[in-house]
A and B are shown apart, each in its own frame.
Chain A
Amino acid sequence: MSIAHRPSDETLAAFAAGQLDEGLAVVVACHVEANRESRQRLRELDAVQGALLDAIEPVAMAAGPRDASGIAQGAPDSAAPVSEAGMPQVLRPYGFGPWRPIGIRIAMRRVEVPGAGARVFMLRAGPGIALPHHKHTGVEWTTILAGAYEHEYGRYAAGDFDEADAEHEHTPRVDPVEGCTCIVAMTGNVLLQGWLGRMLQPLVRF
């Protein structure tokens, strides 16, 4: 088994602190749900916030406690819908567009993340195909949901997180047996190349 690909400390810390763009945060959350090591790290980073709270200089409240007596105790109703089979639980709060073919054995569906600066979508590719060769001006963060792909930085399987920035230029090749389904958040503009890239372009820039 290969070593799992995980986010940098800094990315996880920004996620823990609630400082990431919501689109990027959703992709990180899909990874955290699937990776025990990152979940453990996240608990530690939450504890950093507890330590900051303990050490902070208090600022006097303008008003005393609101009357809580009318407020029911207990868990709030779980209003979040049930997730589709095989989908990460953390995607439950979000809506999805339909799967749309964007090439031979490649399909894409939009993930609706209101207020996100990053564009979020899922990509499903058949065994053995090469994903479009591309460069971008922002970041592109990916969590593999099923199957695997491989590029010059290694093999990325279910649960792995692939953190690429503008300096990276890669051509992932999808696993020849399992295919690959992943969720991607992109910022900036994508510069796709080749015929597939030209087909993908208008869809990425929704």
Chain B
Amino acid sequence: MIDPNALIAAIARSGDREAFAALFDHFAPRVKGLLMRGGASAELAEEVAQETLLAVWRKAGLFDPAKASASTWIATIARNLRIDIARRETRSRLSQVYEILDEEAPEQPDATLSGAERDARVRDAMTRLSPDQYRVVELAFLEGFSHQDVAHRLAIPLGTVKSRLRLALSHLRGRLEDLR
């Protein structure tokens, strides 16, 4: 089991190659798996995974474990790069929008959970979803929120997709609000 926070810190501190290799071995195949689950080709998924880990190397000094877990940080970098690469020909600027939102508006620490606590609770709440709900959330996040597509993939009626997704999202929110 690796300690991603320590590895990222080592990269930030001294450009530690071994730490980078360990982080790559853990996260690159997962980013690739995530992209492919979302319908990306193996080539595109590989490219996004490579670029994501290079961005982790470059931005290691900006990682703040109080704001989010390493997995969440890396997942959002992968999301931005997926958008950049998939919409390259249209000169999409959406990833800049996400970056601006991320740097803007520091949260008030007393009013909210720390990033690491929030991540742990979201993770816990995710494990409490029924397998059906989990699958709908996963498909929506990775393949898009077109209910028609999700309904088709899962071979369930459109109304069931809508209600399942709504229920799953409200369960997640409920679990977090209880703890705020």
Contact = CB atoms under 8 A, between A and B. Distances in A.
B152 interface: no
Contact of B119 (A13, A47, A59): A47
Nearest to A43: B118
A87 B17 CA distance: 42
A50 B79 contact: no
Nearest to B169: A9
Interface string A5-39: 00001100110111100100110010011001001
B72 A50 contact: yes
Given A13-B169, A19-B145, A53-B75, A63 B94 contact: no
B156 interface: no
Contacts of B111: 36
Given A17-B79, A56-B34, A33 B57 contact: no
B82 A61 contact: no
Interface stretch (A64-72, A174-182, A184-192): A64-72
Contacts of A52: 34, 75, 126, 138, 141-142
DSSP class of B's interface residues: helix, strand, loop or mixed? helix
A62 B145 contact: no
A2 B62 CA distance: 37
A76 B58 contact: yes
Interface residues of A, number: 59
Nearest to A28: B97
Interface stretch (A88-96, A128-136, A193-201): A88-96
A47 B118 contact: yes
29 contacts: A10-B165, A16-B141, A18-B83, A29-B98, A29-B101, A39-B105, A42-B101, A43-B68, A43-B118, A44-B172, A47-B123, A49-B79, A49-B141, A50-B68, A50-B69, A50-B75, A52-B34, A54-B30, A59-B42, A62-B42, A65-B53, A66-B50, A69-B15, A71-B57, A73-B58, A90-B97, A113-B93, A114-B91, A115-B87
Given A9-B166, A54-B71, A56-B37, 9 more contacts: A19-B144, A25-B97, A29-B100, A48-B141, A50-B75, A53-B31, A57-B37, A61-B29, A114-B90
Query: A-B pairs with the 7 shortest C-beta distances?
Result: A115-B90, A50-B72, A58-B29, A93-B93, A50-B71, A47-B122, A49-B75
Interface of A: 9-10, 13-14, 16-19, 22, 25-26, 29, 32-33, 36, 39-44, 46-66, 68-69, 71-76, 80, 89-90, 92-94, 113-115
Interface of B: 11-12, 15, 17, 20-21, 24, 27-34, 36-37, 42, 45-46, 49-50, 53-54, 57-62, 68-69, 71-76, 78-80, 82-83, 87, 89-94, 96-98, 100-101, 104-105, 107, 111-112, 115, 118-119, 122-123, 126, 137-138, 140-142, 144-145, 165-166, 169-170, 172-173, 176
